[in-house]
Structure 1
Amino acid sequence: MSARLASATAATAYQRDWFARLRTQAADGAPLALVNADAPQEIFRAMGIPYVVNQWWASIVTAKRRTQDYLGHLRERGYPDHIEQYSSVSLGSLFDPDPGSAPWGGLPRPSLVLAETTGDASRKIFDVWGEQPGITFYPLESAAENDVPVRWWELMPRRWEEAVGGDRLDLLTGELEGLIRFLEQTTGLVFSETRFREVMELVNEQQEWNRRTRDLIARARPCPLAVTDSIPSVMIPQWHRGTTWARDAAKAFHDEVAERVGEGAAVCPGERARLMWIGRGLWFDLDFYRRFQESHGAVFVWSMYLAIAADGYLRYGDDPLRALAARFAAFSDQLYTPPWSAEWYVKEARHHGVDGVVHLVSEDARGGYFTTRALEAAGIPVLELRADNVDSRGADAEAITRTVGEWLDRRVLARD
C-alpha cells in the first residue's frame, strides 16, 4: 500500500495554515515564544500565547535543504556549527539576511525563548538567544534523581509523584509558577486555572488515542503504514496539544490505522523483518525509512514519536500544575537516561516484535551505549549509525544504505 495516510496529509496542511496565521499574528505585534520540544507548552496554550517548537522548525529547515545555510550564519559569528545542531538551527535562522527566502516564509522573531538547561552547549545556545534585542530567555532547571523507578511507563499516568520524586516536582512546579507570573507581567494576559484544566484534560484525551494507536501497530502483522506517515500524524498534533483539533486529529489517526489493520493493509506486502528506529527523525533523508522494503522486505514499524506520546505524556491528578511538572521533569530521562530509557526501549522492541534496531547515535548522544547494550542483551540485533539527524555533513547516503543492507543480510534476515 503506497497511498499516504489522510491523517498525515491533513496534519501537514493544518500546520501550514497555522504557521501562516502565526506569522500574521507576530507581524501584528502579538507575543511569540520559541520553545523546546521538552518544554511545558501547555501554559502557553492556556494563556493563548502563540509558540513555535524549536525542533519542529529545525526539521522543516532540514527537509528543505537549508540547514547548512543556517549553520553557516552561526559559523560567521564565531559560534560552533557542529554541536547540538538540532537545537541551534533555529538560532541560525535568526541571522538570515534574506528571511523572505526561508522555508514557509521564515521563522518570525520571538519575544521569548523557553528551554530546559540540559547540558552546557544547550544552555549557551539559548543564552545567545537572550542576548538579542527584544528577546528574553527563560531557563528551566534540569534536575536528577538517584532512585530510578522500575517500569516507569506503568507509573506515570497516575503514580507520577512516586515515579519522578517529590523534590524534582517541587522545583519544577515552583519554576512554572514563576513562568506564569512572568508571562502575566510581560504580556498583560491572565492565567486561568479553569482554562488550564481544560487544556490538561484535552492533552490526556489525545495521548489516550495515541496509546491505542501505538498498540494497534504493535499487534498488526503486517505493518499497515509507513513510519514517515506516523511521524507527522502524531507529532503535528503534539505541537498543538491542548486543543480540540489536536485531540480530534489523534482520534482520526487512530481510526485510520484501525481501518487499515482491519483490511489487512500492508505498507510492504513482502514483509520479512520488522525494524525499530531509535533516535530523532533523519530529517535530511526521509526516504531512508522506505529504502529497504523492496530490497529486503524490512519495514520500520517503530519510532520514538508515537511511543513516547503513548507512554510519556499521560498525567492525571487533582493538581494540574504539578501534573504538568511531572510530564516534563523526567522527560529527558525517559528518552535518553539509562536505565530509564534503556529498559523502555527493550520493552517497546518486544511489544512490537521487532527483528532488529537501527540506532542513530549523534555526537551529543546521551546514554546511547547503554541502550544498545540493553537491546543486544535482550537478543535483539542493533546497528549503530553515527550521524547527526539534521546535519548531513559526513553522512554518505550510499555508504549508510550499504551498511544497513549488509547488517540486514548478516544479522537480521539470516536468523529466519
Structure 2
Amino acid sequence: MAEKLLASATEATRYQREWFQGLHEPVAAGGPLALVNADAPQEIFRAMEIPYVVNQWWASVVAAKQRAPHHLELLRERGYPDHTEQYSSISLASLFDPEPHNAPWGGLPRPTIVLAETVGDGGRKIFDVWGSRPGITYYALESAAENAVPVNWWDLMPHDWEKAVGTARLDLMVSELHNLIRFLETTTGHVFSERALRRVLDLVNEQAEWNRRSRDLIARTTPSPLAVTDSIPSVMIPQWHRGSEWARDAAQRFYEEVEDRVRAGAAVCEDERARLMWIGRGLWFDMDFYRRFEERHGAVFVWSMYLAIAADGYPRYGDDPLRTLAARFASFHDQLYTPPWSSEWYVKEARLHRVDGVVHLVSDDARGSYFTTRALRAAGFPVYELHADNVDTRSFPETAECAMEEWLEREVVRR
C-alpha cells in the first residue's frame, strides 16, 4: 500500500488502533458496547460515555486486511446471503468466526446493543439477526421521508434545518431519541446529561467547521496537495470519535497540515493532467487503486464523499440539543443517496472542485445512482460507472481497471 503523505493520517490510524484494542478488556468484563451504523446518532452514546464501534468502519478494516472473503463465507455457510448489503453484513459475520483472534486488530468485541435505521429490507434483516443472538438488543430507528425537497440543502442545514428537513420528520426523530435515551439508561446504567450533549454538539460543530475549511482549500488548489488515500483516514477516523476534543483537534491538525502543503506548493502529482471525483464508498480492499491513476495518467482523485459530507452534512446550530441532533440525522441518508438531495449536491461539489471527470462506484444495493449519473452528465461532466461492491473482491471485474483507463484517456484527458 502506498505510504501516507500526511502525519494526520498516520496519527489517526494509530489512535484508532489503540482505542479499539482498549475496548476488549472492559467488554469482556461485562461492560456495554454498541455497534452503530455510520448514519446513526452516535452523539447520544458519546454524551452518555457508552463505547461504540461503527459498523461500516469495521467492515472497511476487514476488507483492507483482505479478510472480507472469509467473513462472507461465514455468512454463506449459515444460509445468509453473501451477495447483498455486504458492507453492512461483514460485522455480523464476526459473530460466527470460530477463530476471532485471527481477525484484524484482535477481532470485533461482542456488542450488547446494535443501532440502525430501517433503510431497506436487507439492512433491517441483518440487524434482526443481530437482535436474535443472546445478550444483544437491536434498537431500530425509523427512516422517514419528506415531500418537499430543498435543492440547496447544504446552505440551509447549519441554521435553517427545520425548513430543510421538515417539522414532522424532526418530531419523529426527537421522540425516537427520547426513547433511545430511556432504553440506554435502563439497560446500561449510564445516565444521560443534556449538558454533556450540548458540549458534544459544540465540539462536533467545531470539527465540522475545520473540515469545511479543509474541503474548500483542497477544492481551490491546483495541483492537488494531497491524495484521497490520505484525506479519508484523516477525516473519517475523527468522524467516528465526533464530540470528543481529540476528534476536534484532529480535524484542525488535518487542515493545518493541508494548509502547510499548499503554502509550500506541494503536490501529490506534479504532472497533474486531470482532476477526478470518486462517488461512492471507499474501495477498501484496494486503496492503491486511486494512486495508480496518478502514476500512470496524472489523474488525481481530488474528491471523495467523506470529506465533503463532513463539511456539508454535519454542522447544526440550535438551542434545543435533541432537536438539533435530530436535524443532523433525520435526512442524512437522503443527502448521499436520494435525488434530488444527493444528485444536486454531487453536481455542486463537482463544480466546486473543478473536476474533469467522475468515477461513480455503483453497488447492487445503491439507491439513486441512476439519477446521480444523469445529473452529472447533464451538467457536462464525463461519468464512468464502475459496477462493483466496495468490500467484495468477487464483484470487481478483472477488466474494470483497463476499461476505466480507456475511458479516462478518451473522454477526460484528451478533452
What are the equivalent positions in structure 2 for 1:248-267 lying under 5 Å apart? 248-267=249-268
1:314 aligns with 2:311: no
Residue in 1 aligned with 2:121?
A: 120
In the TM superposition, residue 294 of structure 1 has moved relative to its aligned partner by 2.0
Counterpart of 1:193, as a letter, is E
Residues 1:372 and 2:370 aligned together: no
Q: Could you tell which deviates more after superposition, 70-79 or 128-137?
A: 70-79
1:150 positional shift = 2.1
TM-score (norm 1): 0.98
CA contact (8 A) 1:2 1:267 kept: no
Q: Unaligned 5+ residue runs, structure 2?
A: none
> Aligned pair in 2 of structure 1 residues 3, 148: CA closer, same or farther (>3 Å)?
closer
Please list, as runs of the form range in 1=range in 2, the aligned pairs for 1:54-65 lying within 5 A after superposition: 54-65=55-66
Give the Cα separation in 2 of the matches to 1:316 and 1:68: 43
Paired residue for 2:208? 207
**Alpha-carbon deviations, 1:88-132, whole Å to 9, x = none?**
000011110111111000000000000000000000000000000
1:331-346 paired onto structure 2 within 5 Å: 331-346=332-347
Q: Which amino acid aligns with 2:60?
A: S
1:352 match: 353
User: Counterpart in 2 of 1:412?
Assistant: 412
Q: Does 1:141 align with 2:142?
A: yes
Q: Does structure 1 conserve the Cα–Cα contact (< 8 Å) formed by 2:314 and 2:328?
A: yes
Structure 2 matches for 1:74-85, cutoff 5 A?
74-85=75-86
| Residue 24 of structure 1: how far off its partner (Å) | 1.8
SS at match of 1:393: helix
Aligned-partner Cα distance in 2 for 1:25–1:276: 41
2:393 is aligned to 392
Alpha-carbon distance, 1:80 to partner: 0.6
d(CA) in 1 for partners of 2:151 and 2:345? 10
Task: Confirm or deny that 1:328 pairs with 2:353.
Answer: no
Q: Deviation at 1:394?
A: 3.2
How far off its partner does 1:3 sit? Answer: 5.6
Alignment deviations for residues 257-299 of structure 1 (CA, whole Å, 9 cap, x no partner): 0000111111000001000000000011111101111221100
Supply the AA of the counterpart residue of 1:300.
F
Counterpart position of 1:99: 100
Per mean C-alpha deviation after superposition, the further-off stretch among 42-51 and 1-10 is 1-10
Give the CA RMSD over aligned residues.
1.0
Q: Secondary structure of the residue that 1:58 maps to in structure 2?
A: helix
Q: Which residue of 2 aligns with 1:40?
A: 41
Deviations along 1:313-338, whole A, 9 cap, x unmatched? 00000001111111000001000000
The answer as to 2:222 corresponding to 1:187 is no
Q: What secondary structure is seen at the aligned counterpart in 1 of 2:385?
A: strand
> Deviations 1:37-75 (Å, cap 9, x if unpaired)?
000000000000000000000000000111111111111
The runs of at least 4 consecutive aligned structure 1 residues that moved more than 3 Å come to none
Whole-angstrom distance in 2 between the partners of 1:269 and 1:62: 31
Counterparts in 2 of 1:72 and 1:100: CA distance versus 1, 3 Å: same
Q: What letter corresponds to residue 24 of structure 2 in structure 1? A: R
Contact preservation (8 Å) 1:346, 1:374: yes
Q: Could you tell me which residue of structure 1 aligns to residue 287 of structure 2?
A: 286
Write the distance in 1 (CA, Å) between the matches of 2:271 and 2:4: 17
Tell me the CA shift for residue 236 of structure 1: 0.2
The answer for the alignment partner of 1:234 in structure 2 is: 235
The CA deviation string for residues 213-239 of structure 1, in whole angstroms up to 9 with x for no partner, is 000000011100000000000000000
The DSSP-based 3-state class of the residue aligned with 2:414 is helix
Q: Contact 1:335–1:341 at 8 Å: present in 2 too?
A: yes
Return 5+ residue gaps in structure 1 as ranges: none
Distance 1:366 1:226, change over 3 A: same
**Could you tell me how far apart the structure 1 residues matched to 2:97 and 2:166 are?**
43
Is contact 1:341–1:371 with CA below 8 Å preserved after alignment?
yes
Q: 1:217: which partner in 2?
A: 218
Q: CA deviation at 1:201?
A: 0.2
Q: In the alignment, residue 17 of structure 2 is paired with which amino acid? A: R
Tell me if structure 1 keeps the 8 A contact 2:12–2:234.
yes
In 2, Cα distance between the equivalents of 1:24 and 1:257?
37
Q: Distance in 2 between matches of 1:372 and 1:3?
A: 31
Q: CA deviation at 1:2?
A: 6.9
Q: How many residues matched? A: 414
1:395 is displaced (CA, Å) by 1.2
**C-alpha separation in 1, matches of 2:337 and 2:81:** 23
Match of 1:275 in 2: 276
Do the aligned partners of 1:275 and 1:301 also contact (CA within 8 Å) in 2? yes
Structure 2 distance, partners of 1:4, 1:26, is 35
